[in-house]
Amino acid sequence: MTVLTTVLRRIGTAILTIVLASLFVFLAIQLLPGDVAQQLLGQNATPDAVKALRESLGLDQNVWLRYGNWLIGAAHGDFGTSLVSGDPVGPSLFVAFRNSMLIAVPAMLIGVTVSLTLGVVAGVRRGRASDHVISLISLVVMSVPEFMVATVLVLVFAIAIPVFPAVVLRGSDATVLQLLPSVWLPMIVLTLAMAAYIVRTARSSTIDVMASEFITTAELKGLSTRQIVWRHAVPSALLPTLNVVALNVAWLLGGVVVVENVFNYPGMGKLMLESVFNRDLPTIQAIALLSALIYVVCNLAADLVALALDPRLRTRQRGRRARPRGTARRPAALAAASAGPATADTATATAGTSSARKDRA
């Protein structure tokens, strides 16, 4: 199989996943108890009014037809109308998404840079004081829930020493510029929570690499530690980290919900909480679909980047031959897995996806 077919196959799978996810989301929402029309009308739900509304909402149509219409609409950015505000879901979702990206993307970039560095440092200096300190802090940080970190940060940096605003005063009508003073604390919370996992992944993959044959060879060849770290440790720590980041996307949304709730930040997490509270089904559907899309795209990107970076993944022949290599990767995967929730799926990515890929390659 050529690289091209692998790539095409991977993209095909991604599209299939999205379609399946959209179907699940749609059907799950249909299965929820309670009639949407009845809910909308509330006290005015006379049988005639319910019937009329059902017709105008298209609820009397076949469920598959409605699914098709919804999916086609969604593909054009039309997610229907919010049950609460009566406005189209699309624009408000877009604004919320943009606002969330404003804290999530910097959090991700800072988180990856800082924690990759720390992880590699800890891995290279395994067993020394700096490793202990880094490992310990990451362990503690990932064991304290985000809502606590957020609460403490507000108390310290907004109330006791007022350097940052405690909450965002403006709603979804805020412009990016108006939001800027308020993004810092939410960003720090997200960064901290995510960084802890990446530190641990990066550390264990560095440890793996540093003990592997080719590092020994490199050492024999007389390369300096600095060169070894830059040429081998960092690139190989990067791969699993990429996977962690990609898989973190789904989890990041959970963190975003908590953070946006605490800081009153007008992003997707807050929109999600509100639409769940209000049972605003079209908005919930749209958020679910958008999140699934982001998740799949990020994972696709991570896989493709991994493919581009790692020649072994491209050139490896029938996987069953490559057993020793494969098992060698396992402990790394397991160690990564133990790093926590996000990296749990790294095990998937390395032990799962790559084995799936190599088996089919």
Partner 1 sequence: MPPIVPSPMNDHERGPSRRTLLTGAAGLAGLGLLTLTGCTSGARSTTIPEGAATGIAARGGRLRIARPAASAAETLDSASSLSAYEYLGALYNRLVKQNQAGETVADLAEEWNATPDGTTWTFRLRKGVRFHNGKTFTAADAIASIEHILDPKTASPQGGVLGDMLDKNSMSAPDPYTLRFDLTKPNAEFPSLLTAYQCYIVPAGEIATIGTTGIGTGPFKLSSFAPAGSGSVEAFDDHFAGRPALDGIDFSSIQDTTARVNALLAGQIDLISQTNLDFATARVVSASSRATVARVKNAQWYTIPMLATSTEFKDPMVRQAMKFAYDPKVIVATALQGTGSPGWDNPVPPTLAAFDDDRRVYDPDKARALLKKAGRSGMKTSIYTSSYESVFTPMAVAYRDQVKAAGIDLTVRNASSDSYYTEIWMQKPLMVSYWFTGRPIDQLLNQIFRTGSSYNESAWSNTTFDGLLDDARATMNDDRRRMLYQDAQRLIIEDGADMTPMFGDRLVGISRDVVNYREFGFEFDYLRIGLRK
Partner 2 sequence: MTAALQSSPLTRFRGRLRGWTTPLRASTALSIGLGLIALHVVLALLAPVIAGHDPVVTDSTNVLSGTTWSHWLGTDQYGRDILSRVLNGGRYALLVTFLATTIAVAIGTVLGAVTAYADNWFDEVVMRVVDALLSVPSILALLVVVTVFDSGLWVIVLAVTVVYAPAVTRVVRGAARTVITQDYVTAARARGEKPLSIVFREILPNVLDVVLVEYAMRASWIVLLISTLSFLGFGANPPTPDWGLMVQENRTALTVVPMGTLAPIVALATLVIGLNLSADGLSKALGIDRAQQGATS
Instruction: Report the residue from 3, 8, 109, 144 that binds partner 1 according to the rule CB under 8 A.
Output: 144
Chain positions 71 to 130 lying near partner 2, rule: CB under 8 A, are none
The mark string for 101-130 relative to partner 1 (x by CB under 8 A, - otherwise) is -------------------------xx---
| Phi/psi-derived region of residue 151, left when phi > 0, alpha when psi is between -120 and 50, beta in every other case | alpha
Residue 237 backbone phi and psi in degrees, to 5: -75, -25
Stretch that binds partner 2, among 57-65, 146-154, 184-192, 220-228 (CB under 8 A): 146-154
- 330 lines the binding site for partner 2 (CB under 8 A): yes
Write the DSSP assignment of 45-68 as a string of letters: --HHHHHHHHHHHTTTS-HHHHHH
CB of 253 to partner 1, least distance (A): 18
- 84 lines the binding site for partner 1 (CB under 8 A): yes
- 145 lines the binding site for partner 2 (CB under 8 A): yes
Burial class (CB in 10 A: 0-12, 13-18, 19+), 162: exposed
- 43 lines the binding site for partner 1 (CB under 8 A): yes
Overall residue count recorded for the chain in this entry = 361
Q: Is the dihedral of CA 24, 243, 4, 1 positive or negative?
A: negative
Contacts of 209 (CB under 8 A, 6+ apart): 123, 215, 232, 233, 236, 237
Residue 353: contacted member of partner 1, partner 2, none (CB under 5 to 8 Å, by partner type): partner 2
- 334 lines the binding site for partner 2 (CB under 8 A): yes
Name the residue with tokens 């991994």: 306
Q: Which is nearer to partner 2, 140 or 180 (CB)?
A: 140
Q: Which is nearer to partner 2, 149 or 233 (CB)?
A: 149
Contacts of 307 (CB under 8 A, 6+ apart): 3, 6, 7, 10, 313, 314
Q: How far apart are CA 263 and CA 146, in angstroms?
A: 12
Q: Please report, as ranges, the residues that interact with partner 1 according to CB under 8 A.
A: 42-44, 82, 84-86, 126-127, 131-133, 135-137, 139-140, 144, 152, 154-156, 158-162, 165-167, 169-174, 207-208, 210-213, 261-264, 274, 277-279, 324-325, 327-328, 331
